[in-house]
Amino acid sequence: MARFRGSLRDMAPVSHRTDTPLKLWVTLARAFDAVEHHSRDSIARFGLGTTEFGVLEVLYHKGRLPVCEVQRRILVESSSTTYVVDKLVKRGLVHRRPSSRDRRVVLLALTAAGRRLIGRIFPPHASAIRRAVAALPARQQAQAVRLLRALGKGAAALVGGPSETSHPSRRRGRSASSR
């Protein structure tokens, strides 16, 4: 359905070329895809998937956490988290242990090998991301952070959910340092 500007008398349809919200969405999606490509390539160099990297990275920056908190921070489905954690445990990079306070809670922590691995691979990954966003000077990067945070919160408020987990398509491995 066409949208109209001005009074009913004018009835001028809004050109799709000047529909700024739609243009914003397309531009945002393309920018995300371009930067995420750098992230995926950086992570793949180390033989990890984005979710595996996300689990290691959140534990590296935040320390021991309950599985549900790791899941919330890296924005992936519960079944995916369980599968990825199982793989990391088998590789000797993460260990599980029950919480001493609540038997229903399982805590995750890096093993010494996991800490060494993420400590070695995170710095070059962070450099790759810095290079990927370097088209904007630091001041514009900070401005983009503020604008995108406001956009995410506003969009989430419309559907009544948190901006980071309100839609399955947003449930991708992300850097804990970005949260």
| Model-wide pTM > 0.85 | no
Per-residue pLDDT tens for 114-156?
A: 999 999 999 999 999 999 999 999 999 999 999 999 999 999 9
Closest by alpha carbon to 175, among 43, 16, 78?
A: 43
Number of domains in the chain: 1
Backbone angles phi, psi at 34, to 5 degrees: -65, -45
> What was the pLDDT predicted at 140?
97
Domain presence at residue 160: no
> What was the pLDDT predicted at 143?
97
Chain Cα centroid distance, residue 130: 15
Domain residues for the domain of 116 are 35-154
Per-residue pLDDT tens for 70-83?
A: 988 887 777 788 89
> What was the pLDDT predicted at 167?
41
Domain presence at residue 19: no
Domain presence at residue 142: yes
Q: What angle do CA 116, 121, 122 make, to 5 degrees?
A: 100
> What was the pLDDT predicted at 169?
43
Domain presence at residue 170: no
Domain with residue 148: its CATH number is 1.10.10.10
